[in-house]
């Protein structure tokens, strides 16, 4: 157990441990330790503590009797502790909010199981479930196309089939063709992504579903290589690399949203509510597009090559409007 475990946290574990064993009649030490995320030694400490509990009045007695001989835990007397404590408001809310979010995931095939489970948990949590109604999660499903792609992706993952994608790359304004061995459908920051081994890049890639132009399930088995490591989306979608180009932008009040939408290396306030931000990008094409979109609300300060590129693009674009 880690040093940060408090007395009440350990109490929570002890209160769950007794019913965990009782509901299973008998259960192995190793399995139980794994389920509770503790070492076997820590588990044995817990069991000894439970066994030692005594009440002294009116007559002394030990309410809990258990043994773990031969590595099998058996609780022969549990008094009134045979059932776990009710779900707390935070606990019920965490699960219910997550389940309702899952029901929103495009292409979700488990919706009947989800609604049955939600109803059961609401009933079991009772009053503790009510606060969860004050939390809502809405997943961005760009269009009916994305919903259909999500269903196809999940079917392909289950069936172990390769996919063919036409995928839009905004940095180059290019539609690319690629074969992908699908691994998972992710929902990150409210948006669906396909994670898979891209045969063209020979690497794991995340594909935004709203940039998939078309998708086809191939009659070819999916065969991601052994070294295909899952993308750790919990580390954030933005992976800085030493090769990334630092770009300095100045934003007006109306352009401040950039600091919220893009992962910035630094953000500093200027006068009049303006901001100076530093972005790192593997592809300055993306920032060029951003600068054109921003118009007077954002200005590239450096690198100078990008400043020139943006001006050139704007000049050439304006020339198209001169009749």
* Residue numbers 82-121 binding other proteins by CB under 8 A: 83-95, 97-99, 101-102, 105, 108, 110, 113-114, 116-117, 120-121
Q: Whose Cβ is closer to other proteins: residue 26's or residue 158's?
A: 158
DSSP 233-253: GGG-S----TTPEEEEEEE-G
How far is CA 319 from each of CA 285, 287, 315, 316, rounded to the nearest angstrom? 21, 22, 6, 5
Give residues 186-245 in contact with other proteins (rule: CB under 8 A).
186-191, 195, 211, 213, 230, 232-234
Residue number with CB closer to other proteins (57 or 219): 57
Cα separation, 265 vs 251, in Å, equals 15
Binding of residue 308 to other proteins (CB under 8 A):
no
Chosen residue from 41, 67, 71, 135 binding other proteins by CB under 8 A: 135
| 315 touches other proteins (CB under 8 A) | yes
Measured CA to CA in angstroms, residue 39 lies from 30, 33, 321 at distances of 8, 6, 71
| Contact flag: residue 292 with other proteins (CB under 8 A) | yes
* Residue among 30, 41, 63, 221 that touches other proteins (CB under 8 A): 63
Is position 10 an interface residue for other proteins (rule: CB under 8 A)?
A: yes
Size of the site for other proteins (CB under 8 A): 134
Binder of other proteins out of 8, 227, 241, 304 (CB under 8 A): 8
Q: Is 257 in the site for other proteins (CB under 8 A)?
A: yes
Task: Mention every residue, 6+ apart, whose C-beta is less than 8 A from residue 35.
Answer: 20
Q: Alpha-carbon Rg of the chain, whole angstroms?
A: 28
Please answer whether residues 153 and 185 qualify as being in contact, where contact means their C-beta atoms are separated by less than 8 angstroms. yes
Measured between alpha carbons, how far is 182 from 151 in angstroms, rounded to an integer? 12
Interaction between residue 316 and other proteins (CB under 8 A): yes
Q: Rounded to the nearest whole angstrom, what is the least distance from the CB of residue 241 to other proteins in the complex?
A: 21
For other proteins, which residue of 42, 122, 140, 250 counts as binding (CB under 8 A)?
A: 140
CB of 69 to other proteins, least distance (A): 22
- Least distance from C-beta 100 to other proteins, angstroms? 9
Q: Answer for the pair 43, 33: CB distance below 8 angstroms, yes or no.
A: yes
124 binds other proteins (CB under 8 A): yes
- What lies within 8 Å, CB to CB, of 212 at 6+ separation is 145, 146, 149, 165, 166, 167, 168, 194
Q: Which stretch binds other proteins (CB under 8 A): 17-25, 69-77, 216-224, 243-251?
A: 17-25
- Contact between 291 and other proteins by CB under 8 A: the answer reads yes
- Measured distance CA(302)–CA(276) in Å, rounded: 11
d(CA 78, CA 213): 60
H or E element in which residue 80 lies: none
Interface residues for other proteins in 154-173 (CB under 8 A)?
154, 157-158, 166, 168, 170, 173
* Among 66-74, 153-161, 215-223, 239-247, the segment contacting other proteins (CB under 8 A): 153-161
The two structure tokens encoding residue 63? 């309410």
When asked if residue 30 is in the footprint of other proteins (CB under 8 A), the reply is no
- The angle that helices 7-23 and 29-36 make with each other, rounded to 10 degrees, is 130
Tell me the β-bridge partners of 305: none
The answer to whether residue 6 forms part of the interface with other proteins (CB under 8 A) is yes
Q: By CB under 8 A, tell whether 134 contacts other proteins.
A: yes
Q: What is the DSSP letter of 225?
A: -
Asked whether 137 and 182 are in contact (CB, 8 A), the reply is no
Task: Name the segment binding other proteins (CB under 8 A); options: 50-58, 65-73, 218-226, 243-251.
Answer: 50-58
């Amino acid at each position: 157990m880690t040093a940060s475990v408090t007395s009440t946290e350990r109490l929570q574990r002890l209160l769950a441990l007794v019913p965990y064993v009782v509901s299973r009649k008998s259960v192995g030490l190793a399995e139980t330790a794994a389920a509770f995320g503790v070492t076997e030694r820590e588990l044995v400490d817990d069991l000894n503590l439970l066994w030692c509990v005594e009440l002294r009045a009116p007559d002394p007695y030990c309410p809990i009797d258990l043994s773990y001989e031969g590595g099998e835990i058996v609780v022969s007397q549990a008094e009134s502790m045979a059932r776990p404590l009710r779900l707390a408001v935070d606990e019920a809310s965490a699960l219910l909010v997550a389940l309702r979010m899952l029901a929103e995931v495009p292409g979700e095939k488990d919706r009947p199981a989800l609604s049955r489970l939600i109803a059961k948990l609401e009933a079991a949590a009772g009053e503790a479930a009510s606060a969860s109604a004050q939390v809502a999660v809405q997943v961005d499903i760009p269009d009916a196309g994305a919903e259909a792609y999500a269903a196809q992706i999940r079917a392909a993952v289950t069936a172990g089939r390769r996919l063919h994608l036409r995928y839009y790359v905004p940095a180059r304004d290019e539609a690319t063709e690629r074969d992908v061995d699908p691994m998972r459908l992710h929902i990150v920051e409210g948006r669906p992504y396909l994670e898979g081994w891209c045969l063209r890049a020979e690497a794991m890639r995340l594909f935004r579903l709203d940039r998939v132009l078309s998708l086809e399930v191939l009659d070819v088995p999916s065969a991601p290589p052994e070294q295909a490591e899952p993308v750790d989306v919990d580390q954030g979608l933005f992976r800085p690399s030493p090769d990334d180009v630092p770009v300095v932008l100045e934003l007006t009040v109306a352009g401040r949203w950039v600091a919220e939408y893009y992962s910035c290396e630094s953000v500093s306030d200027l006068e009049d509510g303006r901001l100076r931000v530093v972005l790192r990008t593997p592809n300055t094409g993306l920032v060029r597009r951003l600068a054109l979109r921003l118009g007077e609300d954002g200005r590239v300060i450096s690198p100078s090559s990008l400043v020139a590129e943006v001006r050139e693009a704007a000049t050439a674009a304006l020339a198209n409007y001169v009749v």
